[in-house]
Amino acid sequence: MAHDHAHSHSHSHSHGPSRETERGALKTALALIVCFMLGEVVVGLLSGSLALLSDAAHMLTDAVALAMSLAAARLAIKPAAGAMTYGLGRAEILSAQANGVTLLILGVLIVIDAVRRLFSPPGVEGLPVLIVALVGIVVNLVAARVLARGSGGRRSLNIEGSYRHIVTDLFGFIATAIAAGVILLTGFQRADALASLLIAAILLYAAVGLLRQSGRVFMEAAPEGMDPEEIGRVLASQPGVVEVHDLHVWEVTSGFPALSAHVVVHIDDDCHAVRRQLQQLASERFAITHTTLQVDHEAAEQPPLQIELPGATGH
């Protein structure tokens, strides 16, 4: 008789760094960014610099990104309940996707404005722009360092979204500082629009990366770096296993991979022992701690049918 067992492995999900330190880092970075952004908007408007205003707009998305990341990190630690059997971990992926969309829209808007300014450059005051850009470099370096330290070297996709915002902002301020220097030294006003184009390119690149990664999670793709074919081959090659099919590997949220499969075991083998061995293998070799394996014994060989023909009694 074939045994049919659907087993769900009990799990203590490790989500990389502790959510508490992540949230502390996000709060600190958010406070830094908001204070600086307000000052930047004022100077950007007074000096007429699009590079500064595009940086400020980017810092606004930084602030929104950090606030969404904070909300998502808070939701992610809520226990699974009711219809949300996996908990609310995917709120982080939604947050990363929203970040990607805001960066994309912002990048396009800055490109349009910068192209217009290239044709008719307005006067830009270089000195205030240079000072603000240099302060911006320092603020973003501090914020990036806070996030890197708060995530313990392993960033969830949620923190990754905010971290990328801040790193792209850092490059933006470097470009703005160079443009302000050029305006001060040569009076070449178009340098400001060129710098904002560079910022827009960085924004668009970051946006595409975030949208691609969060899209993979939503489309239930296998986590990056995991090859389902290889996992299937390794599981199928274990002693006692006849075949593995209906194998699915996906990511519930950052750092939470899951696997389910149907495993057929030799008729003489202990299917419970094989399942435990496969779950241990998935955990140790592929770092997948959430595994659901349905294990069946292969069908028994049917003995050949003895058919007795009427009248053929052998007498």
Query: What are the domain boundaries of the chain?
Result: 19-218, 223-297
Helix (H) or strand (E) holding 243, with range, is: strand 241-253
Closest CA to 261 of 239, 285, 277, 243: 243
Average pLDDT on 236-253 reads 90
Range 19-218 classified under CATH 1.20.1510.10: yes
Q: For residue 189, give every residue at least 6 positions away whose Cβ sits within 8 Å of its Cβ, in sequence order, or none.
A: 121, 122, 123, 124, 183
**CATH fold match for the domains 19-218 and 223-297:** no
| Position 2 confidence tier, pLDDT thresholds 50, 70, 90 | very low
Provide the CB-side half-sphere exposure for 257 (13 A, CA): 19
| Mean pLDDT over each residue of the chain, to the nearest integer | 81
Q: For residue 47, give every residue at least 6 positions away whose Cβ sits within 8 Å of its Cβ, in sequence order, or none.
A: 124, 125, 128, 129
| Position 3 confidence tier, pLDDT thresholds 50, 70, 90 | very low
pLDDT at 15: 45
Residue 238 CB neighbours (<10 A): 14
Region of poorest pLDDT, from 4-8, 24-28, 216-220, 228-232:
4-8
pLDDT digits (tens, 9 = 90+) for 252-307: 877 788 999 999 998 888 888 999 999 999 999 998 988 999 998 888 766 666 66
Average pLDDT on 58-68 reads 78
More confident residue, 46 or 161: 46
| Position 155 confidence tier, pLDDT thresholds 50, 70, 90 | low
Name which CATH class applies to 223-297. alpha beta
